[in-house]
Structure formats: C-alpha cells, structure tokens
Amino acid sequence: MTEHVEWSEPEATAAPANAPVTPADAADAARLVAFGLQPKLQPARDQEYTELLRRYREDPPFARLADAVAAGLGLVVLEVSPRAGMAVTAAEDSVFAVRMGDYARRASTDSGDRFLHGLAHLAVAALAFPRPEDLADDGYIGRVSVNGVDAFVRQACRRLEERAEETGENTDPATDAPGLEAAWRIWARRSSTGATKDARRLAGSTTGIIAKAVAFLTDSGFLQRTGDDAGGTYRTTARYQLQVRDMAGSAAMAELLELGIVPVTDGTATLLPAEDADDLELVAGAGLPFHS
Amino acid sequence: MTSPASTDSVPPQLSAGPRPAPGPAADEGLARRLRALACTAPLHDLDMRKANLAGEYTVYGMAEVALAAIDLVTLNMDFDTGADHEQIVARLVPRIAAQAPARPVAEHERVARWVLENLINVGSVDRGFRAVYGTFAPDGTYVRRDYDFKLIEEVPGYGGSVYLRTTDEAVNVLVGALDTDVTSAQIAAEVKLEVLISRGRLADAQLAAEQARYRTVQYAETLRKALDATRRNVRAVDWLQAVPDMIAEALDHVADRYRHENAILTNIRKARDESEDPEQKRRAAELVDIVKDCIRRHTQLQSRLLEAGPLFRAEQDRQAFGTPMTTSGIDLYGHLVAPVLPLPVERALRVTDAFFKRGTGLRTPVAVRVADLVDILLTPPLEREHLGAEMPEPDLIATPDDSRFSEEQLAAAKELLNLPPDAPRRLSGLLAEARRHDPELPYLVALLAVHAASPPVGTAYRQGEERLLFAVDDGTELDDPEFGGADLIVGMALLDAAGMKADRA
C-alpha cells in the first residue's frame, strides 16, 4: 500500500484549503468511486473519468473526500492513477465482497472443491507473476493460459509425489480422516479435463476450475482475454497486480505464518528447483519441478 | 556374473514374504502389491457388472475388451496429445464383433463405449478409482488408507478437444512390467529384433518390435513431461549443465535409434519382398508399419528437442538480463504455493481461502427495481427459430456433359463383349459388328478390349467377381479400316467365386 503514502504526502505538505465541501464536490467524489466500481472500464476511454482522476491527484481535499466515500461504502482504495484508474477493492465483510459459497456452489459443502477453487486463484497469480520482481514492476504484464496453470500445478504435485516416493513415505490418506490428506493429492487426483455430452468444459475438472477462475478475474477487470490457445490465454491488468501485491498475497502470507510456517527465501531465487533433494522442509525453493 | 547379488534387483516384497514379523518394511511391499492388485480390480469389475446392463451382454469378455482398449490407447498416444476417443472405439469394435458376430453393430459400439467410459470412470467427480487397503504404521497401529488411481485419463488437446492417455499405473500393471530403464530396455529389444529378422523368425520379431514400440512411446512420454516443465519456466532448470546434457543425450538417442531402425526397415523390406510364404510376407509388411511408426515418433521427438534451445535462450534473455528491480518481498510460488501444497488440506484451506477472499476483487450486488421486475416477468420469452434461418435457394449451373461416349453406347459395348465363356472372339469381328450398330461404338469396344489385355485380376479377386473379360495377343495382325495393331482374342473367363471367398476368409 505504498501508493497510499505516495499520494497522501503532497496532501500533508500542501496548505489545507479551508474552502467548504459543497454537495457538488461530494457528488463528484461519489461519481469517481462509482467509476472505480466498474473495474472493466478503462480511464482513457472515458473523458469524465479521466477528468475526475486528474482532480483527485491535484486537489487533496477532493482526494480525501473520495477516500471517505469509498471507506464509507466498505471499499479499500489500492491506487488512483491514470493506468489503473480508481482501483478499489472490497473490504472484509463489505457488501461488495465475493463469497466462496456464491462463487461455486459445490465449494460450500465439499472442502476438497473449496481448496481446488482457492488454489486455482493462487496458481493463476503465481504463474502470472513468477518472480518477485514481476509483482513489483508496475510495467510488467503477465501472461497465463488455462492449460498452462494446470500443468504448472500438476508439475509441482508430481515433484512432491516423487519426493514422497524417494523417502518411502506412504501418502495415501487414512480412510477416516480425509482432512489430513496432503493438499497436493487433491489436485493430482482430480482429472484435468473430461468429455461431456454437450462438448463444454467439464466444470469439475481442474481445467474447468481454472477456467472459472480466469473468467471470474476477467469480469473483475483483472485479466484480459487474448486468445483461445491452450484452453484460453489471458494477460494481466494493473489492477490485478495491485490486488495480488497489496491484498491477497499479504493476507495469505499472514494466514500461513499463523499456521506456524515461515517460508524463507533470499528474495531472488523463486521458481528454482531445490538444490539438494534431502531438504524436506518444502518451503522456499521447492521450486518448479523438473525431471531429467 | 554369477554372483548372488542379482537378488538385489528382486523387489523387496518377494524376499519379505516368509518372514513372520509384519514389520513396516514387509508391510511396504504388501502395500505396493495391494496397489498393483487394485489396478486390476476395475477390469474384473466390468465382467461382474455386465450382467446388470439392460440387455444380454454376458457373451462379451469385458476384461479382454478393456485390456485391448488400454493397449490401443497406449499405442495411439501421440507425442503432443493422446489417443482420439472415437478412433479407439472404432478400433475396438472388430474385437467385440468377433466375440458376438450375430449381434448388431450398434450393440458392439455400445459395448465399446461402455467399457471405455468405465475405464475412465465417468461417473465419479475425480474420474478415477479408489481402493481401500490397510497397513501397519511404524508405531504398530493399523491404518486404513485410500489409494486413488486412474487407468485412462482425459487430457486437453488442441482447440478444446479431449484426448485419452493411459496412466503410468495402467502401463505398469496392465500393459506389462515396463517399469525398467527405458534406454537400455530399448537397446536390448532392438538387438533382439535384428537377430530375429536376420534368422527369418518374423513371428518373434513382430513381438519384439511391438515391445520396442511400447518402450518408444514410454520414452517419448518421459521426455514430453521433461520438456513441458522446461518450457514453463526456464529458471527452473540448470541451464549450465543439466539441460544441454539432457538434450544432447536425447538427440544422440534419436540419431542412434533412427540409424538402427532404418537398418531394420531395410532388412524387413528385403524379407517382405523376397519371401514366398504369404504369411511371412504379411508379417513382414506389418513389421514395416510398426518400425515406420517408431521412426515417425523419433522424428517428432527430435523436432521437439531442436525447438527447446531457442526457447531457452529467448526466455533467458527476457528473464535473466533484464534490469534488476526492487522486489515486492512476496514470491508467490516460493512463499505461498510451494509451502501450501504439502500441508494437510484442512490447514491449506485457510491459506487458499484467505487468498481467494482478498484476491477476487469486488462484485457489485444486483438490485432490481420492482418496476423493472414486472417488465422482465411479463415479457414473453423470445421465440427461438426452430428450424434456423431460411436457406437461400442454391443457384445451380448444369455442367455440360462432355463424355466421349453415352451411357447407351457403354451398355451396347458391354452387351457386345458379354461373350459366352466357351466362345472367345477375334477383335476384328467385334469391331465390325459394333460398326453395324453405331459408327462411334468401335472406339469404345477397342478401348475395352485393350484394357482387357491386362485384366484387373486383383480387384476381381477382392470383390468376388464371377466373370472377368480378358484379351490375348496371338500374333495375328488386325485388319481394320480405323484401327491397327494386334487382332486380340477377346474372351470371358469364369472365376471360382466361392473358392476365392473361402480363400480370402
């Protein structure tokens, strides 16, 4: 959320104008937030949007007003810039928040499906921004495909399977404790695709689950569809980068730390295979698997 | 090499059998065998369940059909995709038809589809199988475990199509114990093949060649997985040594196999062309097809290998030589995906849930005004055109009939040449008779007679014809105002249609 600091600094230094806020200002601020609620709308395509964005950046009291409107509605402002527009996202428990139960009906009853849907979103982000630099570089545009994401996760699962085999570990879960099954096995045993009677994608297959995720992200203005190859190819938008960097990534990290798992990397080595196969702490650098 | 060390290669479960104490080590072998046993269960299951199908299906050997299906899918697995669903069904039908020739073809196809769908296990959400078995944990407690496996899996192909692949489980357990060092196994098989061919033992050679092809497929599969991984992210790979070594090794392998198989091909071709025995000839021809297929697979593999280098370099340029940036501190793969995957699912769920909650953005809630709602509910549904848009009347242009002879002329010529089998005639007489009917007819008769000089015996044999027109030149010169050449003797030969049919069968 460094952007917050960036734009709030001039506000602190500039002499606060004592001009009272008029209802017209409030309407404009609300209008800007309303533009932000249409994530697929591009600022450059709408003159009024561009104008309001310029005002937000040049008029600190107006910016504070717009922030207040957003906060009151239950929104978090990620960035306000010509490239991302008024990038807002839903705060926790806001009416705008997406709930897993609404997203996929099966996911509310079946914890395996719920995990698959969550992991699909995580994997799309991980493949869209493979290196920490990619997530930090504002100009970076990631590219993902549905089949590519599936292959990427499967490869990681296969790597874990091989490791388990090397150590002679029996990863078959106990029958009466499905919750203790290793997470990767859930993905590995779900079929990646399947023939259906009406030639549509099998919704329960892993490519079906990823396709649902990318379609949803496209509707959120996070991805743009670029082609039909490899199950559908997409490129990322500035909003997605902000969302992953400032919201999702840190929230998931916090949850992981709460589970007592502290992944440590030196900040550079990312999708590299582990140097020594004996290292069983499957944290940093467990890496994109490669079989020679 | 007579040392008893060879027992080392025997899987531990064999030696662990007679030991009385059921320690974890013995149990591990038991678990492995139980899993192997479980892989055969779906096949037995097919034969058990066929009685429950609507209709009388007990005549079919379902396990046999299932094994044939797995063999077919394994052999038809392409480098890129897999076997085509429809093609597998079509190739299964002859075997099923042979099991019950009296039944209708539609039923045979239904059986093929039923077996294939059950091997995929279309009914389950994972499209796989699960077997439960028990083991003793290191602390001596008895634990029941779930073993999940697939026999045939569906994989995405180009343009959203779905292909079939056999899984490692299916290949290992059901196609044969092929879980060996692929390279050495292939070399051994090919040496054997060459020896067998040079001795003229084609039946054994065919078996060896088929085994070699299974190995070729398996080798391609291993490399495909490896190349897939390298394509996905170049940094996942040791670019200094591992990859170039791997590519060089694989290219050497391809070149070596290519040389070998071309030599074999030349050998078999010779056997095919020189052999007198039709059975031997047929075997050799089949072998040629198998080896050609092997060569095709190797060529495909080679082109993949050659593409890998430039791809690595392009990715290397983009990723490694870019200006270093300040990092955001979060490495999505190293910090999140990699640590989450090995966790038990109930704990991993907390992390993925948190990511989902914050990573999906926002949705504006839908609010409908009552006035709109009334309108929406009262609008009659849009009637779909049942038959679609009207087709424009096609503008047809009659193509001019530019045939040299009319249908009537052909019929007249055929009638003229329909000679009794015991009375062949001279071409000169036939021409003169034809000229009396129609001045154009002699040309057609002459043409048909010249064709009959080399009668289509093979076609007649395959189609089971009863009569065949033939023409023989006995040296007499043709005396005719319009034609020159030999005065052919044209006759009708009677063929033994029944005998030919028996022969073909």
Q: Is residue B5 scored above 50 in pLDDT?
A: no
Cβ–Cβ pairs < 8 A, chains A and B = 343
Q: What pLDDT does B405 receive? A: 85
Contact status of B12 with chain A (Cβ, < 8 Å): no
pLDDT band at A276 (very low <50, low <70, confident <90, very high): very low
The verdict on a CB contact (< 8 Å) between B154 and A192 is yes
Do B183 and B230 meet the contact criterion of CB atoms below 8 Å apart? no
Percent of chain B surpassing pLDDT 70? 73
- The set of long-range contacts for A42-48, using a CB threshold of 8 Å and a minimum separation of 24, is A42/A85, A43/A82, A43/A83, A43/A85, A44/A82
Contact status of B159 with chain A (Cβ, < 8 Å): yes
Q: Quick one: which of B499, B496, B427 has its CA closest to B468? A: B496
Residues A117 and A210 grouped into a single domain: yes
Q: What pLDDT does B208 receive? A: 61
Q: Which of A61-70, B215-224, B360-369 shows the highest mean pLDDT?
A: A61-70
pLDDT band at B10 (very low <50, low <70, confident <90, very high): very low
Do B85 and B116 meet the contact criterion of CB atoms below 8 Å apart? yes
Q: Which comes out higher in pLDDT, residue B52 or B442? A: B442
Residue A263 maps to a domain: no
Residues 219-248, chain A, touching B (beta carbon < 8 A): 220-222, 228, 231, 239, 243-245, 247-248
How many residues comprise chain A? 292
Do B264 and B190 meet the contact criterion of CB atoms below 8 Å apart? yes
Q: Is residue A135 scored above 70 in pLDDT?
A: yes
Do A47 and A64 meet the contact criterion of CB atoms below 8 Å apart? no
Q: Is residue A288 scored above 50 in pLDDT?
A: no
Residues A156 and A246 grouped into a single domain: yes
Residue A290 maps to a domain: no
Least confident of A154-163, B274-283, B418-427: B274-283
Our CA-based measurement puts residue B333 at a distance from the nearest CA of chain A, in whole angstroms, of 5
Interval B327-336: pLDDT, tens: 556 777 777 8
Residues A114 and A178 grouped into a single domain: yes
Q: Which comes out higher in pLDDT, residue B347 or A275? A: B347
Residue A61 maps to a domain: yes
Mean pLDDT of chain A, nearest integer: 76
Contact status of A136 with chain B (Cβ, < 8 Å): yes
Residues in chain A with CB shorter than 8 Å from the CB of B133 are 172
In sequence order, what are the residues at sequence separation of 6 or more whose Cβ sits closer than 8 angstroms to the Cβ of residue B261? B190, B291, B294, B295, B298
Domain count, chain A: 2
pLDDT band at A16 (very low <50, low <70, confident <90, very high): very low
Q: What pLDDT does B328 receive? A: 55
Picking from B155, B329, B361, the nearest residue to A220 by CB comes out as: B361
CA dist., res. B337 & res. B355, Å (int): 11
The verdict on a CB contact (< 8 Å) between A259 and B162 is no
The verdict on a CB contact (< 8 Å) between B362 and A184 is no
Percent of chain A surpassing pLDDT 70? 82
Picking from A121, A173, A290, the nearest residue to B229 by CB comes out as: A290
Q: Which of A67, A90, A113 is where one domain is finished?
A: A90
Q: Which of A60, A90, A120 is where one domain is finished?
A: A90
Contact status of A249 with chain B (Cβ, < 8 Å): yes
* Closest-approach residue (CA) in chain B for A95: B365
Picking from B154, B355, B366 by the largest number of A CB atoms within 10 A of its own CB, the best residue to mutate is B355
Q: What pLDDT does A82 receive? A: 83
* Closest-approach residue (CA) in chain B for A164: B342
Residue A109 maps to a domain: yes
The verdict on a CB contact (< 8 Å) between A271 and B233 is yes
- What would the mean pLDDT of A151-179 be, rounded to a whole number? 78
Mean pLDDT of chain B, nearest integer: 75
The verdict on a CB contact (< 8 Å) between A245 and B328 is yes
Q: Write down the H helix ranges in B103-201.
A: 105-120, 168-169, 182-198
Residue A265 maps to a domain: no
Residues in chain A with CB shorter than 8 Å from the CB of B126 are 189-191
Q: Quick one: which of B452, B455, B431 has its CA closest to B443? A: B431
Residues A113 and A229 grouped into a single domain: yes
Q: Which comes out higher in pLDDT, residue B47 or B503? A: B47
Q: Which of A35-49, B187-201, B247-261, B306-320 shows the highest mean pLDDT?
A: A35-49
ipTM, two decimals, is 0.80
Q: What pLDDT does A6 receive? A: 44
* Closest-approach residue (CA) in chain A for B325: A133
Least confident of B131-145, B218-232, B393-407, B433-447: B218-232
Task: Compute CA A269 distance to the chain's CA centroid, rounded to the nearest angstrom.
Answer: 21
Contact status of A287 with chain B (Cβ, < 8 Å): yes
Do B149 and A185 meet the contact criterion of CB atoms below 8 Å apart? no
Beta-bridge mates of residue A235:
A143, A224
Domain of A21 in residue numbering reads as 2-90
* Closest-approach residue (CA) in chain B for A154: B229
Amino acid at A74: G
Residues in chain B with CB shorter than 8 Å from the CB of A186 are 345
Contact status of A93 with chain B (Cβ, < 8 Å): no
Q: What pLDDT does B290 receive? A: 78
Q: Which of A41, A61, A90 is where one domain is finished?
A: A90
Least confident of A10-19, A154-163, B130-139, B207-216: A10-19
Q: What pLDDT does B79 receive? A: 52
* Structural domain boundaries in chain B: 7-175, 182-316, 407-504
Residues 33-62, chain A, touching B (beta carbon < 8 A): 37, 39
Our CA-based measurement puts residue A21 at a distance from the nearest CA of chain B, in whole angstroms, of 28
Dihedral of alpha carbons A253, A257, A259, A261, sign: positive
CA dist., res. A77 & res. B285, Å (int): 73
Q: What pLDDT does B25 receive? A: 52
Residues A80 and A151 grouped into a single domain: no
- What would the mean pLDDT of B154-182 be, rounded to a whole number? 67
Do B166 and B175 meet the contact criterion of CB atoms below 8 Å apart? yes
Contact status of A143 with chain B (Cβ, < 8 Å): no
- What would the mean pLDDT of B206-228 be, rounded to a whole number? 61
Q: What pLDDT does B236 receive? A: 60
Contact status of A17 with chain B (Cβ, < 8 Å): no
Residues A128 and A233 grouped into a single domain: yes
Q: What pLDDT does B262 receive? A: 77
Contact status of B335 with chain A (Cβ, < 8 Å): yes
CA dist., res. B303 & res. B312, Å (int): 15
